[in-house]
């Protein structure tokens, strides 16, 4: 079995977590809406992750909605003492599965209480405020009012630590003036490198950077360079994509998502994969290839 501690640890809020974690979004139904096709399989993925040493799980009550948190609770409650569950608020789902901003203080308060109830906890370890100025990527806009509301919920003892998601450097600077920010969760992977400078700035500040879509998300990464690199070391392309992220910066924490135990085990094994400097240089070229293809 993989020793995921080989990928190292990082202090996220209160707990030291393994840098190799798990993202639970894939456990809801198609389109992250409704129940999964196979609930027992979803429960098995979570239990296998924790059994393998995963102690950082990313979720949200708007996956399903509610479905992912209910599955997390069923699979793992009472939670292991060292498990850090990170959730996110700021959106709500329409009856048509749409993703809508839910940024008012009343909606954010409701979202924190929904997460507490559905996860079955008295306090949430880490809550990311997910900005919705742009749905598919960060866009400017003040986060002062919603973050002040979240900081008030923290003051009330309902939230231990605060993070931000889908945000710009300017919003991060604004946020750090309002509350202590322990993690940033943005879209980043081998082919999506907009946050390159930000990753390094956050590393210097001791803040975790948690890339969402580490494998490319709804359209998993495809690249001949990635396939060649993987074949040469007897690994899979997804493992190489994750190993590249681990080597990219020590503050990067991984939350690859999967609904399958086989893919989970494959992804966790990337914790033991070490890429040579030459391999890293070749992989760095992928972002330029994908820019050229646009």
By annotation, the residues acting in catalysis are 63
Q: Which is nearer to ligand NAP, 31 or 156 (CB)?
A: 31
Q: Which is nearer to ligand NAP, 88 or 93 (CB)?
A: 88
Map 28-53 to HEC letters: CCHHHECCCCCHHHHHHHHHHHHHCC
Q: Which is nearer to ligand NAP, 85 or 158 (CB)?
A: 85
What are 183's strand-pairing partners? 163, 208
Instruction: Tell me how far, at minimum, the Cβ of 98 lies from ligand NAP, in Å.
Output: 15
Half-sphere exposure (Cβ direction) of 156: Cα atoms closer than 13 Å? 12
Q: Which is nearer to ligand NAP, 40 or 157 (CB)?
A: 40
Q: Which residues of the shown chain bind ligand NAP in the complex (CB under 6 A)?
A: 23-26, 58, 88, 130, 165-166, 185, 212-217, 220, 238, 255-260, 263, 266-267
Instruction: Tell me how far, at minimum, the Cβ of 233 lies from ligand NAP, in Å.
Output: 15
**Minimal CB distance to ligand NAP: which residue?**
257
Instruction: Tell me how far, at minimum, the Cβ of 166 lies from ligand NAP, in Å.
Output: 5
User: Token pair for residue 219?
Assistant: 């359209």
d(C-alpha 49, C-alpha 239), whole Å: 16
Helices marked H in the chain: 39-51, 67-76, 105-119, 144-155, 169-176, 196-205, 224-232, 237-248, 261-268, 277-293
Q: What does the radius of gyration of the chain's CA atoms come to, in whole angstroms? A: 18
Question: Which run of H or E residues covers position 85?
Answer: strand 84-89
Instruction: Tell me how far, at minimum, the Cβ of 221 lies from ligand NAP, in Å.
Output: 8
């Amino acid at each position: 079995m993989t020793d995921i501690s080989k990928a190292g640890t990082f202090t996220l809020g209160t707990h030291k977590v393994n840098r190799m974690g798990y993202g639970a979004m894939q456990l809801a139904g198609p389109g992250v809406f409704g129940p999964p096709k196979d609930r027992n399989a979803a429960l098995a993925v979570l239990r296998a992750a924790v059994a393998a040493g995963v102690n950082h799980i990313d979720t949200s009550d708007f996956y399903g909605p509610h479905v992912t948190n209910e599955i997390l609770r069923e699979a793992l409650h009472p939670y292991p003492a060292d498990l850090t569950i990170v959730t996110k608020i700021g959106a709500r789902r329409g009856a048509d599965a749409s993703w809508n901003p839910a940024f008012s203080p009343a909606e954010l308060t409701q979202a924190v209480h929904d997460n507490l109830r559905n996860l079955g906890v008295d306090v949430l370890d880490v809550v990311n405020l997910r900005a919705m100025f742009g749905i598919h990527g960060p866009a400017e806009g003040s986060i002062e009012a919603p973050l002040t509301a979240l900081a008030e919920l923290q003051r009330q003892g309902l939230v231990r630590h605060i993070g931000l998601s889908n945000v710009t450097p300017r919003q991060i600077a604004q946020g750090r003036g309002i509350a202590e920010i322990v993690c940033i969760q943005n879209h980043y992977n081998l082919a999506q490198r907009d946050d390159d400078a930000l990753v390094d700035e956050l590393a210097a500040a001791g803040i975790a950077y948690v890339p969402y879509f580490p494998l490319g998300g709804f359209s998993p990464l495809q690249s001949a360079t990635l396939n060649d690199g993987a074949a040469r070391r007897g690994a899979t392309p997804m493992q190489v994509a994750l190993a590249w992220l681990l080597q990219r910066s020590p503050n990067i924490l991984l939350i690859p998502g999967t609904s399958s135990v086989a893919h989970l085990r494959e992804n966790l094994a990337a914790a033991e994969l070490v890429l040579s400097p030459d391999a890293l240089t070749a992989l760095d070229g992928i972002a330029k290839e994908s820019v050229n293809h646009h």
